[in-house]
Amino acid sequence: MTERLMEILADSFFKILVPGLTMTIPLTVISFSFALVIATVTALVQFANVRVLRQLARFYIWVVRGTPLLVQLYVIFYGLPGLGVLIDPFPAAVIVFSINEGAYCAETIRAALESVPVGQLEAGYCVGMSYLQIIRRIVLPQAMRTAFPPLSNSLIALVKDTSLASNITVLEMLMATQRIVARTYEPLALYIEVGLIYLLFSTVLTKLQRVGEKKLSTY
């Protein structure tokens, strides 16, 4: 490796990492938090078989899972201005990632809810609890433990998917890298470098997942 390349890589490391810390991670954390709320509600209305909402939930999941994430980003960011709705890049990305991830996580949580034995509900009824009390205190906590590993999976996938936001001018890690490549003409080394930083982020999350699983395995 030439000295110039070494210098570019060292120099660019923080130029990529900083947008990672100030953009990629906030984008991921905010989007995933919204996604979890959307997913929990969407899963619960299906689990509880709430009439109209259940059909709405199925429709939402069908549309979101059946269309590319990149297309969804384009529709919101480049499409909606045609209707006079202008959204800044970052909030647009948050909206799309939340809705997209919410659909996938909803299916994870629904499956986890359905894996809780019906006897847990029946026992709740027998001690006089209402349906909502049983869901909140018995079924949902157990389901969340089951859902934790696949949800961690989704979170790790989302970290990497945020790179798509570079397509709607969000200055996240990939976009930062592209800019350096345009200046230095070292695509191979720089794209590998940004890949390694994503790998670093994912590794930290994998470790956190293991800690979380241990915490949750008290019962």
Partner 1 sequence: MMLEIRQLRKAFGDLEVLKGVDLEVDKGDVVAILGPSGSGKTTMLRCVNFLERADGGEMMFDGERFDLHRAARRDIARIRKKTAFVFQSYNLFRNKTAIQNVTEGLIIARKMPKQQAEEIAMRALERVGMADRRDYYPSQLSGGQQQRVAIARALAADPEIILFDEPTSALDPELTGEVLAVMRQLASDGMTMLVVTHEMGFAKNVSSRVIFMENGVVVESGTARDFFEHPQQERTRAFIRNVSGEMDA
Which 3 state secondary structure label does DSSP give 58? Answer: helix
Taking the complex as a whole, the smallest distance from the CB of residue 132 to partner 1 amounts, in Å, to 11
Q: Which residues contact 185 (CB under 8 A, 6 or more apart)?
A: none
To 10 degrees, the CA torsion angle through 101, 176, 22, 205?
50
Taking the complex as a whole, the smallest distance from the CB of residue 139 to partner 1 amounts, in Å, to 9
Residue number, 2 or 49, with CB nearest to partner 1: 49
Task: DSSP for 101-127, please give it.
Answer: HHHHHHHHHHHHHHTS-HHHHHHHHHT
Footprint on this chain of partner 1 (rule: CB under 8 A): 117, 119-120, 122-130, 133, 137-138, 141-142, 145, 218-219
Structure tokens belonging to residue 77: 């960011």
Residue linked to tokens 């970052």: 90
Taking the complex as a whole, the smallest distance from the CB of residue 123 to partner 1 amounts, in Å, to 4
What is the end-to-end Cα distance of the chain in Å, rounded? 53
Taking the complex as a whole, the smallest distance from the CB of residue 149 to partner 1 amounts, in Å, to 17
Taking the complex as a whole, the smallest distance from the CB of residue 116 to partner 1 amounts, in Å, to 8
Residue number, 143 or 159, with CB nearest to partner 1: 143
Residue number, 27 or 135, with CB nearest to partner 1: 135
Residue linked to tokens 């989704």: 154
